[in-house]
Chains A and B, each alone.
Chain A
Amino acid sequence: MVDQADAPVGVEVPAALEMHGIVKRFPGVVANDGVDLEIRKGEIHCLLGENGAGKTTLMRILYGLYQPDDGEIVLHGEPARITSPKAALAHRIGMVHQHFHLVATLSVQENIVLGLSEGTGPFLRSRATRARIERLAEEYGLQVDPAAKVWQLSVGQQQRVEILKALYRDAHILIMDEPTSVLTPQEVDSLFGTLRTLVDDGLTIIFITHKLDEVMEVSDRVTVLQKGKVVATVNTAETSKAELARLMVGREVVFRLEKRTHEHGEVVLEVSDLHASNDRGLPALRGVSFDLHESEILGVAGVSGNGQHELSEVLTGLRRATKGSAILEAKDLTGCSAREIADMGVAHVPTERIRVGTVSSMSVRENLILKSYRSPEYSRWMLLDEKAAQRNAREAMREYEISAPHDGTSAGNLSGGNIQRLVLARELCGSPRFIVAAHPTYGLDVGATEQIRQVLLDQRDNGAGILLISEDLDEIMQLSDRILVLYEGEVMGTVTCDEANIDEIGLMMAGSRREEVGL
């Protein structure tokens, strides 16, 4: 079959994949509203859109994880019903998910072979399988040890296993869902190289992303989705970042927020030689030291899994440090419980706002006093003061624009943005001196993201010292006064926002120290 890339200009090559009029509804929202998609063989096609635009839903339908309420899928000219991932794989469609579908306790080889029914009966053809995996890895630059257990691998290596899984099953169409969100800039380059090799070999790649740079760099064509509908499909060569941004959001995108430059104040938090272990007992923080000042946002950059999570937990009393100290106003946080730290006025906006930051089945009102219920303001003797809680809730909902029918609504019924507003309202009341904000805008729409970032900046202007942990380098660059890079539990370097250069930060994220990088 002729690839689009090889065909003379103007000649239409039959599409490898078409989706017509796809509709998918969930309670309260229409994720895909009559989406038409056309993918040509041998191209890298990007699906661009904000969070919630419907890109992942559409691809999940293609992969058989969801069934469309309406519409049809046409593969190589024939209509196809894809009822499950197994069927998708039978149609040689593979998917590399954003959160890897790997069983951590099994080995690489076992993960790759999982679900396949090749070989003689129930037994594994270990040697033949292993050989084939190694061949594929060699061919596409995806080296990894087949016998290693997945939990032992780095994130980048795990992604390779994901890709190998699809390749092992002869996937001809490869869907990649936000693959670069967990990679360093250098690993991203390596991935793009692999993708080009795959395409040269005749594969077709559908690439879901919300990052304009990537679209411009690697795709042949791009389809822009907004709120469940296709806005446009364009050839990448014929468009620009600005145009794509406009298509994606429908208005001019503000790339820089109002940020007043400040002199930061005195030291609020002094962290010295902090050591801590992760859940598996392995060292996660290995001698982290830094200072945080009043009126300052210190951004912690680094790919997830390099100690950021453990750092936030140690500083908020959810994990014991094995060595070192973190002094806040003459008290060492490492010896305090979560309750004591909360009582000291330390705010914690957790990574997982639904699983950890709120109790979904309880009301907005109760969630707002999740930490403050002990104070005399909300409880006399042993009884809770319902009226005070209600008053507090009404005020918080107004001030932070939390959109909910009333304060008795269950937190679980709120949208992601409103849940985060609730968390902020709770944590930021009382003007805390020290705030730990972990991935505060992850998964939120542009409106909520802007608002929350502005809230953080306002808190900084009011004198708070904020530790901002985020995987979104753009966010870190926008908001931080200083940036600290963590790699494998150590500080690779600290730069001020003026000095910050994304390439050099990328190098630090990948393990080079600041001195080596030449800043």
Chain B
Amino acid sequence: MTRPNWLRIERREALTPWVVFSVSFAAIVAALLAAGIFFKGYGVSPVRAYGLIVSGALGNKVGLAETVRRTIPLLLCGVGLTIAFRALFWNIGAEGQLLVGAMAAAGVALFVPLPEVLRLPAMLVAGFIGGGLWALLPAFLKVKLGVNDVISTLMLNYIAAFVMQYLIQGPWKGPTARGFAYTDKFPSSAILARIPGTPIHWLTLILGVVAAVIAFIWVARTRQGFEIRVVGENPDAARYAGISQAKVILVAMLVSGGLAGLAGVGEAAGIHRMLLAPVKLSAGYGYTAIIVAWLARRNPLAVIVTSLLFGVIMAGGDVIKVTLGLPFQLVNVFNGLILFFLIGSEIFMRYKVSIVWRRS
């Protein structure tokens, strides 16, 4: 490819945090501008729409609570995904792992005889293990049989959703109202407390933040984290150094799925207090978390910020749906655009583009 003489493209020598931040920021701004076109298409001024999103999501108590509510599962899933991505395992299955976690928790909540005081802890454990196992499945398939991780995790999302659908319409069916199926309400010992007046189930929120911190330390400072980083940065060198890529992937996926499972417990036991249709339980958190993790550049601590950002977007999506009558699917379009601009902008992190003024 020949380049015009006035454009110079050079490889960057060092990647400073400033470059990462400014390029990512520019990408988001570009996405906002592109999405603005859509708003224009619906006859709404983009400025007004964005203003509504921000003020609706952050400007009042109800909106803020909604934002945090959305942030919690994004945070948990996002932290898990940063770990999976670090090990170069494309875990697109956080959505399914979340659902399985919810199912495991529901099973414990409704059908397992336990002393009541143990019920909630048992649900959390069950959710973690459920999600973890659901993630170990594709991990095993990749490690032992070389099965493509993207497809296997994705397929398992659909399978999990159908299994859940089966459960709530079949063996676990509770009272039916207006044609929607769901299970019985969880007993009071099986629900996660919320901050009064809000949908924020604070225990899972705390778990999420703690997970982010622990994950950060784990990856940066421990032996296992070292192994994960080597495997992710250079699998050939990892093999040469005697690091078992298989073991690393399995551990990483167990954790990733487990955290997503916890998010599922949060939704089931904290928000809905029952198990219901998959599309109602999770508003695509597992998929959105991919963007959350990507924007955080696979840094678990940064996920705290990026999950909040997308919490705002989701809460804002609700706001504009109600006040402007725009479809909620616009959020997906928005997210897709952000992701595109993000990955498209990465080339600017590797190369510096400058304009050369040539004197003739």
Closest-CB distance, A348 to chain B (whole angstroms): 7
A356 with B221: CB separation less than 8 A: no
Known: A373-B223, A383-B221. A338 touches B233 (CB 8 A): no
Shortest B19–chain A CB gap in Å is 14
Q: Which of B223, B224, B242 lies in contact with A371, CB distance below 8 A?
A: B242
Chain B contacts with A in 215-236, Cβ cutoff 8 A: 221-224, 226, 229-230, 233-234, 236
- Interface pair A27/B11, CB less than 8 Å apart: yes
Smallest CB–CB gap between A28 and chain B, Å? 7
Q: What residues of chain A lie closer than 8 Å to B2, measured between beta carbons?
A: 67, 83-84
Report whether B240 and A350 are in contact in the complex, using a CB–CB cutoff of 8 Å. yes
Q: Which of B234, B236, B239 has the most CB of A within 10 A?
A: B234
| In the complex, chain B residues whose CB is within 8 Å of the CB of A338 | 239-242
Assess whether A337 is interfacial by the CB under 8 Å rule: yes
B residues within 8 A CB of A382?
Answer: 222-224
Q: Residue B343 at the A interface, CB < 8 A?
A: no
Min CB distance, B221 to chain A, in Å?
A: 6
Complex formed: what's the CA distance from A83 to B10 in Å?
Answer: 18
Q: 8 Å CB contacts to A: which residues of B200-227?
A: 221-224, 226
B236 touches A28 (CB 8 A): no
Known: A338-B241, A350-B240, A361-B233. A413 touches B223 (CB 8 A): no
CB closest residue in chain A, given B231: A359
Chain B residues within 8 Å of A342, by CB: 241-242
- Are the CB atoms of B13 and A28 closer together than 8 Å? yes
Is A260 engaged at the interface, CB distance under 8 Å to the other chain?
no
Within 8 A of B (CB), among A404-448: 413
In Å, the complex CA distance between A391 and B225 comes to 21
Choose among B221, B226, B242 the residue with the greatest number of A CB atoms under 10 Å from its CB.
B242
Q: Which of A339, A362, A379 contacts B233 (CB 8 A)?
A: A362
Main secondary structure of the interface of A (DSSP, over half): loop
Does A287 count as interface, using CB distance less than 8 angstroms? no
Total number of A residues with any Cβ neighbor in B under 8 Å: 37
Cα of A395 to Cα of B283 in the assembled complex, Å: 54
How far is it, in angstroms, between the C-alpha of A27 and the C-alpha of B8 when the chains are bound? Answer: 13
Contact A348 to B240, CB < 8 A, known contacts A382-B222, A383-B221:
yes
Assess whether B234 is in contact with A383, with CB atoms less than 8 Å apart.
no
For the complex, is A110 an interface residue (Cβ under 8 Å from B)? no
Asked whether A359 lies within 8 Å of B240 as measured between CB atoms, the reply is no
Closest A residue, CB atoms, query B352: A27
Q: Mark A359-372, 1 if CB is under 8 A from B, else 0.
A: 11110001000110
User: Are A374 and B223 within 8 A (Cβ)?
Assistant: yes
Query: A362 touching B230 by the CB < 8 A rule?
Result: yes
Q: Are A317 and B242 in contact (CB under 8 A)?
A: yes
If the complex has contacts A317-B242, A374-B223, A384-B226, are A357 and B13 also in contact, measured as CB distance less than 8 A? no
Q: Is B241's CB under 8 angstroms from A370's CB? A: yes
B237, CB-defined interface residue at 8 Å: yes
Known: A339-B242, A348-B240, A359-B233. A366 touches B226 (CB 8 A): yes
A356:B242 contact, CB within 8 angstroms: no
Among B226, B229, B233, B239: residue with most chain A CB under 10 A: B226
Nearest CB in chain B: distance from A150 CB, A: 24
Instruction: Name the one of B223, B233, B241 contacting A384, with C-beta atoms under 8 angstroms.
Output: B223
* C-alpha gap A382/B236 in the complex (Å): 24
Bound CA–CA A83/B1 (angstroms): 8
Chain A hits for B239, CB < 8 A: 318, 338
Q: How far, in angstroms, from A305 to B226 measured CA to CA in the complex?
A: 34
Please list the 6 inter-chain residue pairs (A to B) with the smallest Cβ-Cβ separation, ordered nearest first.
Answer: A339-B242, A338-B242, A359-B234, A382-B222, A356-B236, A370-B241
- Inter-chain pairs besides A27-B11, A362-B230, A370-B237, 10 sampled, C-beta below 8 Å: A67-B2, A84-B2, A337-B242, A343-B242, A350-B240, A355-B237, A356-B234, A358-B234, A360-B233, A382-B224
11 sample A-B contacts, Cβ–Cβ < 8 Å, listed by A number: A342-B241, A343-B242, A356-B234, A359-B234, A362-B229, A362-B230, A370-B230, A373-B226, A382-B222, A384-B221, A413-B13
